[in-house]
Amino acid sequence: MTKIALIGGGPAALFMYKRLVESGLQNMEVSIFEQHETLGAGMPYSHYGSAQEHITNVSDNEIPDIKTHLKEWLTVAPTDVLKEFSMLDKEFNEYKVLPRLLFGEYLSAQFKLLLSEAAKNKLTTQVYLNTKVVDIIDNKKKEQVKIITQNGEEYSFDKLVICTGHSW
């Protein structure tokens, strides 16, 4: 069993996890460590790095496929989310940029869909929300990497991908 850790749960981790889920590889366990309370949005598309008035720098036609297209997700997104961003009863244009926080909601929803697909494919995934990694120790002799969290918890993995992305 290969144990893989992703440090960070934002957009970079979303696309890395997508590749792992779609790889079809067997005998793999994935652990995701995210310092905040949700997966997908990361800093640039959450309240940690954006405000209501901030917009994305890409439009739907530039976003790589995840699980569902943005246009499709907007048809099933929670009404309260759409209302918050004045997206109710509006015609969606794939060339229009969106509010960053709305895009973060979309990315979070996509991460949930990937987690569901992973479970169906029997890919074991552990998600550690509100868990900040404070140290990484590479043990070359054992070919393992140890992660230490701010609570002093220690976890060992065969592979590690740092997906921390943006930082202000």
DSSP 9-47: -SHHHHHHHHHHHHH--SSEEEEEE-SSS-SS-TTTTST
What's residue 85's pLDDT?
86
The low-confidence residues of the chain, meaning pLDDT below 70, are: 88-90, 167-168
The Cα–Cα gap between 58 and 47 comes to 19
**pTM of this structure:** 0.92
What's residue 113's pLDDT?
97
Residue 161: half-sphere exposure toward Cβ, Cα within 13 Å? 18
What's residue 89's pLDDT?
62
One-letter amino acid of 75? T
Total Cβ atoms within 10 A of residue 27: 7
The Cα–Cα gap between 168 and 137 comes to 25
Tens-place pLDDT, residues 78-110: 999 988 888 866 677 888 888 999 999 999 999
Q: Which is it for the CA torsion 43, 32, 5, 118, positive or negative? A: negative
DSSP class of 78:
-
Which regions of the chain does DSSP assign to beta strands (E)? 2-7, 28-33, 55-59, 97-99, 124-128, 133-139, 144-149, 154-157, 159-162
Tens-place pLDDT, residues 40-56: 999 999 998 899 899 99
What's residue 3's pLDDT?
98
